[in-house]
Amino acid sequence: MEEFCKSLPKVELHAHINGSVSEVTIQKLLAKKRNFDQSFSFKKGSTATLKECFEKFRLIHQLTDNAKSVYQVTYDVIHEFHEDNVKYLELRSTPRAVQDTGMSKESYVESVLRAIRDCKDLDIKVRLLLAIDRRNGVQVGWETLKLAQKFQESHRDLIAGIDLSGDPNVGDARDYLPIFREAKKSGLKLALHLCEVPAPEETMDMLNLPPDRIGHGTCLHREAGGNQEFVDTVLKHNTPLELCLTSNLIGQTVPNLDNHQFKFWYEKKHPCIICTDDKGVFSTSLSEEYQLAASTFDLKQCDLWNLSEQSINYAFCEENVKEKLRDKFKVYKSKIEEQFNIKL
Ligand code: 5GP
- Domain residue spans of the chain: 2-317
Residue type, 256: N
Q: Identify the residues whose C-beta falls under 6 Å from ligand 1.
A: 16-19, 57, 93-94, 131, 133, 165-166, 168, 193, 196, 247, 277-278
Q: How far is the CA of 54 from the centre of ligand 1 (A)?
A: 7
What CATH code would you report for 2-317?
A: 3.20.20.140
For ligand 1, what atom is nearest to the CA of residue 133?
12
Say if residue 277's pLDDT is above 80.
yes
Rounded to an integer, what distance in angstroms lies between the CA atom of residue 137 and that of residue 96?
A: 14
Cα–Cα distances in angstroms (integers) from residue 268 to residues 58, 206, 235, 301, in the given order: 37, 22, 9, 19
pLDDT at residue 32 in the model: 83
DSSP, res 193? E
What is the share, in percent, of the chain residues with pLDDT greater than 90?
A: 96
Catalytic center residues: 196
Residue type, 324: K
Residue identifier of the C-alpha nearest atom 13 of ligand 1? 166
Determine if residue 233 is left, alpha or beta; phi over 0 gives left, psi from -120 to 50 gives alpha, anything else beta.
alpha
For 267-286, give one letter per residue: b (16+ CB within 10 A) or e: eeebbbbbbbbbbbbbbbbb
- pTM tops 0.85: yes
Q: How far is the CA of 132 from the centre of ligand 1 (A)?
A: 10
pLDDT in tens, 9-49: 999 999 999 999 999 999 999 988 877 778 899 999 899 99
pLDDT in tens, 42-80: 999 899 999 999 999 999 999 999 999 999 999 999 999
Residue identifier of the C-alpha nearest atom 10 of ligand 1? 57
